[in-house]
Structure 1
């Protein structure tokens, strides 16, 4: 492909971020969360980069789990939503893949199993997120039923926090979860990225770092560098044209930006079809040849515009970092009314990807 756009993944940064998270964690083990193709960073590349560091991997679908096994990953693997049907429960046993059990239907699927070895199960509690899991009062019966099955071996009790990243904190959910966890005698898995950095009482036996592995902060008031992380993803594209504006000239669809003084703008080979958010506002941060600048006008399908008025050296062929080390993804997300997680996961397949390291 000759279109000048690329997504670069820095695998040494992922390793650095894992080590940084380990240094902040009191959890006995850390399972790297690699769902959604490792938040857009490539599940196989990421797992291989962390193969000698991570105690295990957590993801969503069994197809990716099997890919990791077939690629030689031997560490424990856990499916965060467990099996989606009886056949998947059977496959989990065959490939030594653990999984969350959050419903009576999943227990029924396990009970039908005929595999020669039991499936490792993690009992999931709904402590307040109200998506998946047994309520605390339902947990003893669910655990007893699981423990009665020869097709299952229940090792862990887990929950997920809704507000570990903000001022509300985790106290309410932890107060519901902790007594049930203690009574179960199982290993505890509760801490996500935010909890690993702010709530040490929740770290337990298995922490589940996700966004921090990829260099972004889980907290609205900081970027990854503020907590010792390195961005692992850089989306960049080149300037393909330069326009000169006079006062009153508009840029792009809808005249969302109108110049109030003479300007130079660069047209960049990236648009919303590449995964850059259409809703990004004027001034959303970019870096042109490493120098700070901002978006002007509405993002279109294949192009966007950036301000070059203060960058006389910039022109056709200049590289524009849409997010990365010089344009933190958290700031781009904030300017777009979203979060860094979504931007990472939304880069389109048409963007060429390059993994370094």
Structure 2
């Protein structure tokens, strides 16, 4: 029998979550222009946040009209697997030679610094490019300054190498939509869009990531950019009403491979960091940090066994972890263990490891077999 650990990805859940994101965009009404329905791309960078980029792209075929990845390598992988949907390079081109394949691979490209802009303007292209001009509105990670936006936009608009331009920015605090910093970023970007627009219709623009799609409809633009929400994971620190319709797509499961009695005063695991305060039953589970479970998870981290929560006991090992099942009834070898999934949120596990659900799902190694549900 193979080692009993698996990662199941429910592609139906991803489709459901995409439909939910799309429905939120459809409710958008821009007060400064005609009534608009925001288009919804699917952000599938980092192997679709660990869920499988090719499988996700296939699942969203006919739904998402634009996919977003972080690099040309990710885009090439999709094309090699016969994915035909247009693709946006979120970090742009890392060298000028990549510009020559934009048209062949049906890629759109983000421009976020002057070097990229100059390379595009000075390169001989067979066909003009569809570009997304990124504006830094306060995150200070990527993007040109708002002060340079007007001149840069006009320069690109007048270039034979440019077919179309979308203005974009990225929010630093969209998970706190009432925060003054978020409101200032949104206002600054919206004002810039209006400034560069010459008619009653705003120029194409994009700002809303998952948190903004879900909680800040005023930030919805021509394009929304949902990422983590597509995989059923809330972008907020705590589950809330916005998160309720999401269905987690990844289920991380294993089984109990050993059970033992531990006397009061006896310890469990490396470093003897957990000690029984009473006679206890310890279940050993075939899952560890070599499988993607966070080593930083503390004793007490919830683990679901047969539909009931029990606490992690001691340090996580490379291949195993231990759970205190003293309070559970009828636990036996081979019982199912949900490490995270539809019943136990990956965000809850992440909090016990002082990290985010984003990190846990995107760093999953290939050792655990992956099963795709596509009914």
What is the TM-score normalised by the length of structure 1?
0.96
Q: Distance in 1 between matches of 2:257 and 2:341?
A: 20
Q: Who is 2:83 aligned against?
A: 73
**Which secondary structure does the structure 2 equivalent of 1:238 belong to?**
strand
1:338 Cα shift? 0.7
**Which secondary structure does the structure 1 equivalent of 2:284 belong to?**
strand
Q: Which moved more, 1:201-210 or 1:168-177?
A: 168-177
Q: Distance in 2 between matches of 1:323 and 1:41?
A: 14
Residue-by-residue CA offset, 1:102-124 (whole Å, 9 max, x unaligned): 11111122134333111110000
The 5-angstrom pairing of residues 162-241 of structure 1 reads 162-166=172-176, 167-168=178-179, 170-185=182-197, 186-222=203-239, 226-241=243-258
Q: Who is 1:331 aligned against?
A: 348
Which runs of 5 or more structure 1 residues have no equivalent in the other structure?
A: none
1:318 Cα shift? 1.3
**Residue among 136, 151, 156 paired with 1:146:** 156
**Which secondary structure does the structure 2 equivalent of 1:68 belong to?**
helix
Q: Distance in 1 between matches of 2:369 and 2:216?
A: 38
The 5-angstrom pairing of residues 236-255 of structure 1 reads 236-255=253-272
Q: Who is 2:18 aligned against?
A: 18
* Preserved contact between residue 86 and residue 109 of structure 1 (Cα < 8 Å): yes
**Which secondary structure does the structure 2 equivalent of 1:83 belong to?**
coil
**Which secondary structure does the structure 1 equivalent of 2:350 belong to?**
helix
Q: Check if 1:34 corresponds to 2:44.
A: yes
The root-mean-square deviation of aligned C-alpha atoms, in Å, is 1.6
Would you say how many aligned residue pairs link Structure 1 and Structure 2?
Answer: 357
Q: Distance in 2 between matches of 1:59 and 1:163?
A: 22
Q: Check if 1:262 corresponds to 2:286.
A: no
**Which secondary structure does the structure 2 equivalent of 1:237 belong to?**
strand
Residue-by-residue CA offset, 1:151-184 (whole Å, 9 max, x unaligned): 2223200000000002526211012211211223
Which runs of 5 or more structure 2 residues have no equivalent in the other structure?
A: 29-36, 198-202
Q: Who is 2:303 aligned against?
A: 286
* Preserved contact between residue 86 and residue 112 of structure 1 (Cα < 8 Å): no
Q: Distance in 2 between matches of 1:246 and 1:33?
A: 50
Q: Which runs of 4+ in 1 moved over 4 A?
A: 223-226
**Residue among 100, 114, 123 paired with 1:104:** 114
1:46 Cα shift? 0.3
1:223 Cα shift? 6.3
Q: Distance in 2 between matches of 1:133 and 1:268?
A: 46
1:221 Cα shift? 2.0
